[in-house]
Structure 1
Amino acid sequence: MAPQHDVIVVGSGAGGGSVAYKLVNAGKRVLLIEKGPFLPRDKSTLEVREVFVDGVFKNHLVWLDSKGQDFVPGEFYNVGGKTKWYGAALFRFRPVEFEAEPDFGLLGWPFGYDELKPYYDEATELLEITSFQNEPQLQALLDKITAADPNWKPHPLPLGLSHDILSNPEEAKHFDGFASPSGYKSDSERNLIDQIRDKPNFAMLVGDPVAELIAAPGDARTIIGVKCADGSTYEADKVVLAAGAMSSPRILEDHLHASGLDLPCGDLLGANFKMHINSAVLGFSPFKDHDVLRKTAVLYNDKFPHSSMQCLGWIDPELLAVQAPPWTPGFVDKFLGTRAIGFWATTEDSSSAENRIISGGPGGKPIMDYTIDRLPHAVKEHHAMIDNWIERLLGAGLVGMDKYMGIAGTAHALGSMVTGDDPKSSVVDPRGKVHGMENLYVGDGSPLPRASRVNPSLTIYAWGLRLGEHLSSGA
């Protein structure tokens, strides 16, 4: 009997939503499986305590780190994936960021920027990317910094954000790291899945994780479907893993272990995991803040070519209290919170085969064997950039402090199934198919060999759109 679906897509984030969108509009029968639920459309996703303190919407699965210690990554499992929670900063990678840089430990793509450009263009239109003017206080600060040091060059931040948000101050102050119940923020659910949800050739299964891949009888290399946690099975001509760079490799790892299958790329599965080196930088002014949106600019400095300094959204006393030590008096949080302006310092982490995602197997704890100690060049540049920026803040009249976000800050997880032409040095071929496997593709950030110096979401959308087009044309 023929499969009920042409393609099964596992995961509904940027990559999965893009693949499904492209396939459904091409007439393919698609089943999209998302392990998490739909998010509520009430205002609970704007509440600081529920989102940041209680972690109501976050992953609660305990992982092991490189030292075997328990920790909980900041992942989100819901329809739309992490795109519901991102800050909607949607950048293109630069052409140079598709090339290898051995001296910095950076792998190259198997193709250049021009290959992704039409899909960047398509994603830009689908996600309604725009920019906003800097508000007065932010603009005044940036003017002081760039006048003192012209090496810092500000640019408008490309945002998937409706200008209507400015008429709703509560949402304007709570879009960066929050899910928008009003739909002001472009994301995989609103801009992609909602556009295909009512089509007869689309089906979606929510709240039932994929537990294993199903192979053809006697042929572990040929994937014909998936089995979910509740025991239900679904078959299709092709399966696309788009569960994220921390989940997709584990699904394949478990299949290889259970079947005894040995792939040429097997040793690289889960390796070269990347997540950026990210730090929050706060500047405190003697004057109260009156800006609202705040996240409207990004700055680059040629002295730090793999790094960027991005404005964060609104910082208020409640948000600051979440990050402050527990012994800090409440009146200090309140005083500083009304005077804080935030920045997000990002440096592309080098690739290391030792930094990897490892499945714990059925019932075991998954492992993120990742440490920035293996990335000395990236760490050196990251610290140098932050030191320079804090000095610039001081010159502009603000006292600065920084905080490394640590390994739990997995918003930019990438690279655990890198793409390339050679099965001995990559896991996924340039069209998204797993080397040595039949009918199995990867549509999330796992194949990205580089992370760039900025948020990678738009590149994941573009990779997904490109994969969807290839699959719809019979690739």
Structure 2
Amino acid sequence: MTKHDVIIVGSGAGGAAAAYRLARVGKRVLLVEKGPFLPRDASTLDVREVFINGAFKNHDVWSDGQGHEFTPSEFYNVGGKTKWYGAALFRFRPQEFQAEPDFGLLGWPFGYEELEPYYDEASDLLEITAFANEPELQSIVDRITAADPNWKAEPLPLGLSKAILSNPDEAKHFDGFASPSGYKSDAERNLIDHILDLPNFTLLAGDPVTALISALDDPLRIVGVECVSGARHEAGTIVLAAGAMTSPRILQDYLRVSGLSLPCDRLIGGNFKMHINSAIMGFSPFVDHDVLRKTAVFFNERYPHSSMQCLGWMDADMLAALETSRLPRFLNQFLGKRAIGFWATTEDGSSPENRVISGEPGGRPTLDYSLDRITQSRREHEAMIEDWRLRLLEAGLIGFEKYTGIATTSHALGSMVMGADPHASVVDAHGKVHGLEGLYVGDGSPLPRSSRVNPSLTIYAWGLRLGHHLAAA
């Protein structure tokens, strides 16, 4: 059994950030990633391979709360989902650290000011910037905000190099694609690559963790992990950072096998959040010439828990992948030249019944998630979409929307929520699992709220803060 100071399970935003901080202060860190390295070639820009064939996606089948099969859009590779995200890197607003019981939103055990220095550090590491809107997008922005001043447009904070503008193929394919040229900031390029050659850092890719290992005489103390290969690795501290769909299942499996009972048992996997997301396609009579597209975000205080972002470039294959229609390909080609996409996001309330459940050995895991348990969130989302479609019509575009459903788990959070009370939360304010020694959670699972925007920057910041805490321990 190999020995390390810290073992981190998962190399996405939180896991990579914690590893980066710990390795740079000299801790012996083992970062274990379920999947392989991605190829750094044009295959990760191929629309058909990425979106239609799903060549790089998870293919494990899950069940929903009604027993129906579905395949979550998870990614298992070095860098995790950050290789595939659209690199929109927002900070949560200070008020989004507070509880809103009327909307079903839990509060953080600390405020924005606690996370602020880690937001600053993450912003520097990820080189966040903004881009000017291209002419056709700016025209739409102007028409929408002039017709209804309640809609406010702001530059989208992007982890994206300005050099991407010199490569149109990459510029059209960064939102939802992995950048082989490194134009997009992600957990691998901006964090892991900077510690990869350190003698105290080890990256193990392609050997999934199957179990937690406890001390021989104390099942409440976690001291290692076992992988599919049979390899066992030991450390003083274990950090689960495999994502909000996987980390709670690893803990559930450990408790089931060990027979342990913790005060937080019933909450492990519960309070799952993923945003309510809908894709909206606007079609104009004119051929589009913009390339980057994803440079603006809209807010409207009539919908305080929601946002409307521009999507990246649309074409016939992208339209087919989004299943906006069952139209013949020649018509998709025609529409693809006239399409502009938007991504409607609403923070979903927390419900203990919206939960991730690990399957028995050999069985399927379950995501039991229903909008009927978070009706306030659903109503705001529906009202915002109806409003936006009217705005698009006034701007000369015909809009169609599609709720993305529970398979779109890009923003999975909350399944091991943090708090001070071990009966009302799974981890404490530093990510330590209540009732267990040596086990922490470093991904989005502990986040009580998801804000109205993409949570990636907050997960990076949470991982940096956890790394700081463990480095000082």
- TM-score bracket, normalised by the shorter chain, equals over 0.9
Residue type matched to 2:350 in 1? S
Q: Aligned residue for 2:291?
A: 292
SS at match of 2:440: strand
**Is 1:74 equivalent to 2:48 in the alignment?**
no
> Deviation at 1:168?
0.2
Q: Aligned residue for 1:47?
A: 46
**Is 1:466 equivalent to 2:465 in the alignment?**
yes
Q: Aligned residue for 1:158?
A: 157
| Aligned residue runs from structure 1 range 255-404, under 5 A | 255-324=254-323, 327-404=326-403
SS at match of 2:222: strand
Q: Aligned residue for 1:133?
A: 132
Work out the CA distance in 2 between the residues paired with 1:181 and 1:426. 40
| Aligned residue runs from structure 1 range 114-125, under 5 A | 114-125=113-124
Cα 1:324–1:224 change in 2 (3 A) is closer
Residue type matched to 2:36 in 1? P
Work out the CA distance in 1 between the residues paired with 2:279 and 2:321. 13
Q: Aligned residue for 1:9?
A: 8
Q: Once the two structures are aligned, what percentage of the paired residues are identical?
A: 70
SS at match of 2:422: coil
Normalised TM-score (structure 2)? 0.99
Q: Which moved more, 1:235-244 or 1:362-371?
A: 362-371
Residue type matched to 1:30 in 2? V
Work out the CA distance in 1 between the residues paired with 2:117 and 2:44. 34
SS at match of 1:278: strand
> Deviation at 1:325?
6.5
Provide Cα deviations, 1:351-372, integer angstroms capped at 9, x if missing partner. Answer: 0000000000321110001111
> Deviation at 1:332?
1.1
Residue type matched to 1:52 in 2? F
Residue type matched to 1:43 in 2? A
Provide Cα deviations, 1:71-106, integer angstroms capped at 9, x if missing partner. Answer: 100000000000000000000000000000000000
Q: Aligned residue for 2:247?
A: 248
SS at match of 2:191: helix
Q: Aligned residue for 1:167?
A: 166
Q: Aligned residue for 2:35?
A: 36
Work out the CA distance in 2 between the residues paired with 1:202 and 1:172. 33
Provide Cα deviations, 1:201-241, integer angstroms capped at 9, x if missing partner. Answer: 00011100000000001311100100001111000000000
Work out the CA distance in 2 between the residues paired with 1:229 and 1:339. 48
Residue type matched to 2:334 in 1? F
Normalised TM-score (structure 1)? 0.99
**Is 1:219 equivalent to 2:214 in the alignment?**
no
> Deviation at 1:188?
0.2
Residue type matched to 2:275 in 1? H
Work out the CA distance in 1 between the residues paired with 2:179 and 2:428. 36
Q: Aligned residue for 2:422?
A: 423
> Deviation at 1:373?
1.5
CA contact (8 A) 2:282 2:397 kept: yes
Work out the CA distance in 1 between the residues paired with 2:164 and 2:267. 44
CA contact (8 A) 2:324 2:402 kept: no
> Deviation at 1:461?
0.2
> Deviation at 1:320?
1.0
> Deviation at 1:324?
3.6
Structure 1 gaps, min length 5 = none
SS at match of 1:139: helix
Work out the CA distance in 1 between the residues paired with 2:328 and 2:243. 39
| Aligned residue runs from structure 1 range 16-31, under 5 A | 16-31=15-30
SS at match of 1:420: coil
Cα 1:116–1:174 change in 2 (3 A) is same
> Deviation at 1:326?
7.2
CA contact (8 A) 2:303 2:380 kept: yes
Structure 2 gaps, min length 5 = none
SS at match of 2:129: coil
Q: Aligned residue for 2:142?
A: 143
Work out the CA distance in 2 between the residues paired with 1:327 and 1:443. 41
> Deviation at 1:50?
0.5
| Aligned residue runs from structure 1 range 98-109, under 5 A | 98-109=97-108
Residue type matched to 2:418 in 1? T
Q: Aligned residue for 1:440?
A: 439
CA contact (8 A) 2:211 2:254 kept: yes
Residue type matched to 2:420 in 1? D
Work out the CA distance in 2 between the residues paired with 1:327 and 1:69. 23
Work out the CA distance in 2 between the residues paired with 1:305 and 1:398. 25
SS at match of 1:4: strand
SS at match of 1:446: coil
> Deviation at 1:380?
0.3
Work out the CA distance in 2 between the residues paired with 1:320 and 1:6. 48
Provide Cα deviations, 1:94-135, integer angstroms capped at 9, x if missing partner. Answer: 000000000000000000000000000000000000000000
Provide Cα deviations, 1:352-409, integer angstroms capped at 9, x if missing partner. Answer: 0000000003211100011112111000000000000000000011100100000000
Provide Cα deviations, 1:289-327, integer angstroms capped at 9, x if missing partner. Answer: 000000000000000000000000000122112234674
**Is 1:196 equivalent to 2:187 in the alignment?**
no
Q: CA RMSD in A?
A: 0.9
| Aligned residue runs from structure 1 range 443-458, under 5 A | 443-458=442-457
Work out the CA distance in 2 between the residues paired with 1:88 and 1:396. 27
Provide Cα deviations, 1:149-182, integer angstroms capped at 9, x if missing partner. Answer: 0000000000000000000000000000000000
SS at match of 1:334: helix
SS at match of 1:197: coil
Residue type matched to 1:96 in 2? Q
Provide Cα deviations, 1:401-437, integer angstroms capped at 9, x if missing partner. Answer: 1000000000000000000000000000001100000
Work out the CA distance in 1 between the residues paired with 2:358 and 2:28. 31
Residue type matched to 2:251 in 1? L
- Alignment size in residue pairs: 473
> Deviation at 1:4?
2.0
